[in-house]
Structure 1
Amino acid sequence: MRHSCTFLADVKKLDESTVFFDFYHLSKLPKLNRELLKTAVLLPRHYFDYLYFNGVLEVENENGYHPLQPQSAAVGMNIRSLGSTVIFDMCFSPQTYKLWQHTDVVIHDISLPADTFEEYVYRLGAISRFRYLGRVDDPVMATQLGESDRIEFKQDFLLSKSGIIKTIVAFANSNNGNLFLGISDEGEIIGVNHELEHYGDPDKYVLAITQYIQDKTVPFLTPFPKITLNKVQDKYVVSIFVEVGSELFCGLDKNNEKFVAIRTNNRSVVVKDPHQISEIYVKRKLGSEISRRLGLL
């Protein structure tokens, strides 16, 4: 069957394990049109071959490329924005059940018309999900919305560490949520400029936050929170987007003792009742509906 569109890889370099290429989309009807999607993409060879064998990828400037023996793979489309145009991340994993928890590699921020996106989902047998539901990138918009079950404010990082971990764990156990550092409880943007000066470099500051979250949560948060630094006029605000996971996540307190937290309205609440913790665990593993059908809740 001939298709009206395909991905196109302009191969720059390859070896037995990886392919380095520029990523295009090629529309063949009503006329030939080539659109650059991403430059400098590095993809493991077996995933590149998987796209090729499934007829959704053509190769240009082959540089000696030839497909190897096909291996099993799964593709997931993490939809970031829906509409006439779909913005999504293309995720790869050896097996379908590992797609969201153990993704090997991701091609971020691909943009395609909705009908074209749906065609690729069908042709690849891909799994789609809207991972970014509830994400708020703009700190000003967040202050207008106010604190809720999906938005929380903290004044800074250094003096709010325990509260940050409790909030992140609560979001991960309950629903997608946005945590902002540099906004007061009253919704005033005060910034974290003083902390940036303390660390001397924005990358070091974000790395310190990332490392602290890693050290104070178990198991490893998957997907890991998306941390960005935004500037509002002359003030910097940290945005942390936390996605709900399929595991039961715990925080570690100052004595490195585990605790479980969930989100209730606009508060993050520590759960101590073993029965309630068991319910949260079952919901994470099986989902609320299946758990009820099995009589486990």
Structure 2
Amino acid sequence: MRHICSLIAMVSQLEEQSVRFDFYQEIRRRKPERQILKHDVRLPRHYFDYLIHSGVLEVETDAPYQPGKTMPASIGMNIRSLGGNVLFDMCFAPQTYKLWQNTDASIEDLSLPADIFEEYVYRLGAISRFRYLGRIDDPVTATKLGENDMIEFKRDFLYSKTGIIKSIVAFANSNNGNLFLGITDEGTVCGIDHEIEQYGDPDKYILAITQYIQDKTSPFVTPFPKISLKKIDGKTVVAIFVEASSDLICGLDKNNEKYVVIRTNNRSVIVKDPHQIGEIYVKRKLGSEISRRLGLL
């Protein structure tokens, strides 16, 4: 099957274990159009060869290039922003389960039209996830937007622990999300300074939140939520950014029994239907688009 789009590597240096090249995208319609994606990329040769064997990469070099034997590889598209164009990182690892935890190599800050990006995801059998998409660092901006599918407020940590875990698990299983502690459901900033005083200092307080998330989720949430403290009018707010995970994440109740949560509109909903849980698992492992194309959803 002839594809209208291909990735092009103009090789500048061949080494025993790696290849150095300029990275292009070429669209062949009436007149071929080529655009630079990234200058001076270095990639381990077995991943470079994997792209060739996958049929997405063509090589331009002075002497004919002979790829080596196919070696196991998994490719992930780490999406930074969406729109007419998709900004993303292309990540490589030897096995799928190591993709986000132990990325061997990456090509960062690539940009492609959304339809072309989807085509490469499909042809590579790649897993896609969102990186920082929808991240809101400013609590004031969050209060103006109000609670939605990517924003949730909790008054505190000590008395909202169960709700915090539900929200984190829901964001990890559904989409990136922002959880703020020290803001009421109505969007009023009340702060958590009194809780910091109980722990003695901010570092111990952050450590307590981190430890609680680790203890009450399974498997280990990867990537782990980013936790930071923000000041608004002299009051301290905790900002927790949760990235969608490639694994199905479960919360643990008081008896350490597992439960699954997803995000629906502005609510975190516990899921009990085994079929629905299976769909979530498939999406986490393969990505929504690949799952649909394979007829699994």
1:250 matched to 2:256: no
The structural deviation recorded for 1:216 is 1.7
Moved more, 175-184 or 66-75: 66-75
Shift in alpha-carbon separation, 1:34–1:133, aligned structure 2, 3 A: closer
Runs of 5+ unmatched residues, structure 2: 284-297
The CA deviation string for residues 137-193 of structure 1, in whole angstroms up to 9 with x for no partner, is 2433322221234421124545543332122223445x3252423441131345567
The structural deviation recorded for 1:44 is 5.8
Shift in alpha-carbon separation, 1:220–1:172, aligned structure 2, 3 A: same
What is the count of residue pairs matched by the alignment? 265
Paired position in structure 2 for 1:169: 169
Instruction: Tell me which amino acid in the other structure corresponds to 1:90.
Output: M
Shift in alpha-carbon separation, 1:125–1:266, aligned structure 2, 3 A: closer
**Maintained 8 Å contact 2:134/2:176:** yes
**Maintained 8 Å contact 2:165/2:251:** no
**Maintained 8 Å contact 1:75/1:124:** no
**Maintained 8 Å contact 1:27/1:34:** yes
Give the Cα separation in 1 of the matches to 2:107 and 2:206: 20
Give the Cα separation in 2 of the matches to 1:237 and 1:25: 41
1:198 matched to 2:197: no
Give the alignment of 1:1-297 within 5 angstroms. Answer: 6=8, 25=23, 46-51=46-51, 56=57, 69-94=69-94, 104-105=103-104, 107=106, 109-114=108-113, 118=117, 121=120, 125-127=124-126, 129=128, 131=130, 135-138=134-137, 139-157=139-157, 160-173=160-173, 175-185=174-184, 186-189=186-189, 195=196, 198-200=201-203, 209-221=209-221, 223-227=222-226, 229=228, 231=230, 237-243=238-244, 247=248, 249-253=250-254, 257-262=256-261, 263=263, 266-268=266-268, 276-285=272-281
The structural deviation recorded for 1:79 is 3.0
Instruction: Tell me which amino acid in the other structure corresponds to 2:277.
Output: Y
> Which TM-score applies when normalising by structure 1?
0.59
Paired position in structure 2 for 1:290: none
Give the Cα separation in 2 of the matches to 1:119 and 1:261: 28
Give the Cα separation in 1 of the matches to 2:132 and 2:16: 38
Give the Cα separation in 1 of the matches to 2:264 and 2:200: 35
The structural deviation recorded for 1:37 is 6.7
RMSD: 5.2
The structural deviation recorded for 1:34 is 6.7
**Maintained 8 Å contact 1:26/1:35:** yes
Paired position in structure 2 for 1:63: none
**Maintained 8 Å contact 1:169/1:217:** yes
Paired position in structure 2 for 1:295: none
Shift in alpha-carbon separation, 1:228–1:84, aligned structure 2, 3 A: farther
**Maintained 8 Å contact 1:133/1:176:** no
Give the Cα separation in 1 of the matches to 2:152 and 2:125: 34
Give the Cα separation in 2 of the matches to 1:208 and 1:20: 45
Paired position in structure 2 for 1:291: none
> What secondary structure, in the 3-state scheme, does the structure 2 residue paired with 1:135 have?
coil
The structural deviation recorded for 1:198 is 1.4
Shift in alpha-carbon separation, 1:208–1:89, aligned structure 2, 3 A: farther
Shift in alpha-carbon separation, 1:165–1:38, aligned structure 2, 3 A: farther
**Maintained 8 Å contact 2:6/2:57:** no
The CA deviation string for residues 205-262 of structure 1, in whole angstroms up to 9 with x for no partner, is 76664443233212333x5354253756675642322426663623243xx5224253
The CA deviation string for residues 78-115 of structure 1, in whole angstroms up to 9 with x for no partner, is 333233442112133446x7587877446375232428
Q: Percent identity?
A: 34
> Which TM-score applies when normalising by structure 2?
0.59
**Maintained 8 Å contact 2:50/2:71:** yes
